[in-house]
Amino acid sequence: MDPVEETLDLSNKKLKKLNKPTPAESQVTTLILDDNELLRLDSIDSFTKLQKLTAVRNQLLRMYGVGRLHSLHTLNLSHNGILTIEGLKDLVNLRWLCLAGNSIKTIEHLNTNTKLEYLDLSENSISYVSDLSYLKNLKELYLHKNKINHLGQCDRFLPASLTTLTLSNNNIADLNEISRLAHLVNLNKISIANNPCVNMTGNNIGFDYRPFVINWCLNVRVIDDYVVDPIESLRAEWLYSQGRGRHFRVGDQRELTQYLATVCPLTGEKLETEEDRKLRLILSKAQHHQQQLRQQSSANVTPNPSPLSRKKLQANKHSPRLG
């Protein structure tokens, strides 16, 4: 291969074993081993300059071997048969780690990987969230399609740096578990769909859970891949400031669903309700007030109140009775 080439692509070559690299190959910074039949990563430590390694869709059961790649900042071992997170202790420069689609049961052995910004553990067999508070640079955490049934201690275990958290397609049975995420002030994207706590099946009462989620995670802008609209935001503000949005505790799923069915019903394609009409009136007045404040600010260079404060002010002044 050309000595100046920085990427070695060995994907889809039916490799069963990784041979030792040539002197030129050993200098590459990116190695792609996707779609092969590798059981182990023998000789991987001979690639001494590797910064990015991807070995997606192989037959790996262990992660041993990558631990000596001290310059590695990106590692993708998704869709293998890996059972345990291991061997990453010396990868102190690791920033991006994807282990999706494996058979991992526990989030562990990441204590020294404090530079991690992206961690994808989706499509595994994880049943609870371990302490990740030491990952103070972590921004994106993907845990969808696991077996998580509660968020116990996540108020301490999840770092406040998170901007994205996916929890859809798990076994969370109580929507009040969301209360444990209130400290995630930077969170702007979350997923919770396809959990028992929000599934409208059988005798479950239909309700719109999105305002309730925003009521706890005040800065969330995207829920289940749908952008939060102004009416949802106002409903959440009402729940937070005048309703009972933070009244319920873990264990009160039945009471919560009955309450939300009343104040946040699933209207579907029905005509706009009186409450929606009032909320839209509040929104219109809030936007007019916001425009006035901007005009004053440009004239007087006076800082605006926060959007949340403005919404509270308007909601308190004109709040409709929702329940």
Which of 10-24, 255-269, 278-292, 301-315 is modeled with the greatest confidence?
10-24
- Hey, what amino acid is at 181? L
Is the pLDDT score of 321 beyond 60?
no
Q: What pLDDT, in 10s, does the model give residues 186-232?
A: 999 999 999 999 987 655 568 999 999 999 999 999 999 999 999 89
What Å distances lie between residue 44 and 88, 108, 244, CA to CA? 14, 23, 56
- Average pLDDT on 249-256 reads 95
Distances (CA, A) of 134 to 109, 113, 116, 156: 12, 9, 10, 10
Residue 30 neighbours by CB under 8 Å, 6+ apart = 6, 7, 8, 50, 51, 52, 53
Mean pLDDT computed over 95-120: 97
| Reported confidence tier of residue 295, pLDDT bands at 50, 70, 90 | confident
Q: What percent of the chain has pLDDT over 90?
A: 74
DSSP codes, 240-280: HHTSSTTT--TT-HHHHHHHHHHHS---TTSPPPHHHHHHH
β-strands 96-98, 222-223 pairing: unpaired
With DSSP H G I counted as helix, E B as strand and the rest as coil, what are the percentages for the chain, rounded to 5? 30, 10, 65
User: Phi-psi category of 19—alpha, beta or left, where left has phi over 0 and alpha has psi -120 to 50?
Assistant: beta
